[in-house]
Chains A and B, each alone.
Chain A
Amino acid sequence: MSKRQLAMVMDLNKCIGCQTCTVACKTQWTNRNGREYMYWNNVETYPGDGYPKKWMEQGGGFDAAGDLQDGIIPNIEADYGVPWDYNYESLASVNVLGNDADKDGYSIKGAETPGLHPTTEPTWGPNWDEDEGAGNFPSDNYFFYLPRICNHCTNPGCLSACPRDAIFKRDEDGVVLVDLDRCQGYRYCIAGCPYKKIYFNPKISKSEKCILCFPRVEQGLPPACAQQCVGRIRFVGFLDDEESQVYKLVHKHKVALPLRSDYGTQPNIYYIPPTESPAKFDAEGKIIEGSTRVPMEELEALFGKEVHGVVEKLKAEQKTRKETGKSEILDLLIAFNHSEMFRLDNNYYQEVAKAKGQSPLAPVDTRYVKGKHTKVAFGGGHH
């Protein structure tokens, strides 16, 4: 357990699935160098298979006794979705209507498809099942968006699975990082993470994951996904900082819950469960008064039994707000001022760096910065 813990709260009532967070993360970190297929931040449709495909069924995490469970390592093509490219080169030389078209312009069977097309036939990808959800349209179909990043767990499955001590949790803020100098690309971390939020980079043959934008955070900026969020659904702050909105939502009002805490990793990304969904229609297409489409069992599966109390509390708070015009919880969730959603305490990191004599903080596990027997520490380059 780290001394302090940086955490995020995401309000699922306000997520519109626009993927701006996904793009913010991708352009910042994962659009290059073997990370092309990775989405450190993704927004999936729930119910749905998610990303990677059926991640909830792929093992990892801990059982009730606290023992790490076996898991599997997903396949890029089948489970993540291979990031396909297009035949740009051939466009320069090939007639876009198709050199292989017959006189009527139809493609000749067996010939290369004319025009711009993917170089590999995609069979799966993130958001392959976007907006499908469950139930029957129009009577009772439903879905909501579930944005996911690494949970920077207090008891990380990835860290526990690594036989090389290559994953560490920063003492100053609980951010879970891979020490790329130590990582040997074994991928047990991927099997150990029940959220499948750590990825194998095939180009460098090492594992990589969401870093909670620590270089930004250390400078007082929120993670890119949170800053770019157009719906203002993301709060970022320290869990022990009573002034932070994260603290208020998680500890003071207790309306934010972790995702699948039954995995036993003590995740530090919290969610305001979705309370709003339209009423169902009956066979005649009439509204069933008082009905709600998102089944509570689904929410219970994701957020545990506590979700019932939280949904009741949020609904009661809405009522109070309507009647009295006052509600601290709703004021927080409305997020009048974007910058107030983040409390990162820039001076804190400066003090930590000063105390450690590092500026900026070393992005490696300091336990092994100087190997007992090795003469060159981190940064020596490969042989």
Chain B
Amino acid sequence: MSLTNDYIKQRLTDKFGEAVSQVEETFGMLNFTVPKDLNLKVMQFLYDDEELQFRFLTDLTAVHYPDRKGEELAVVYHLYNFAQRVRLRMKVYTSVEDPRVFTATRLFEAANWMERETYDFFGVNFVGHPNLKRILNVDEMDYFPMRKEFPLEDQTRIDKDDEMFGRGGHIGI
């Protein structure tokens, strides 16, 4: 028996109805969006179901869409079924003002560091995470660098030594 995208889609709609939206297939991979309150319930269902068996979290990251008012941040979960070798992608949207999303660490241990990274770069606040602090950047950093909020070249930076580039100027040390 092979697990088809149509079947997964059918099971999800039977279980969650209208909550599962924007269902589409890209390059043979199923994509769908769920409300952010339901992210754990949907993942638990995909995990526990004897036929679906999505028991591996391949990747967890975020995307910033500055133009989508009220749902600027998309948290993306890549799930994998080892037995059937089927992948799917689940998205959860949240506003940038209140970027709270339930943590997946109870379900997948692997989510721990991936959520820390997502917090580090996008500032998604994973509610219930055991240790939500910066993982890659310096601890003193007070912004989220992967958000599309910054000009490509920041003219106000003071740590760039222009003298090295023949542009004159000097930074005081």
Whether both chains belong to one complex is answered with no
Q: Chain A residues in contact with chain B, CB under 8 A?
A: none
The residues of B with any CB-CB pair to A shorter than 8 Å are none
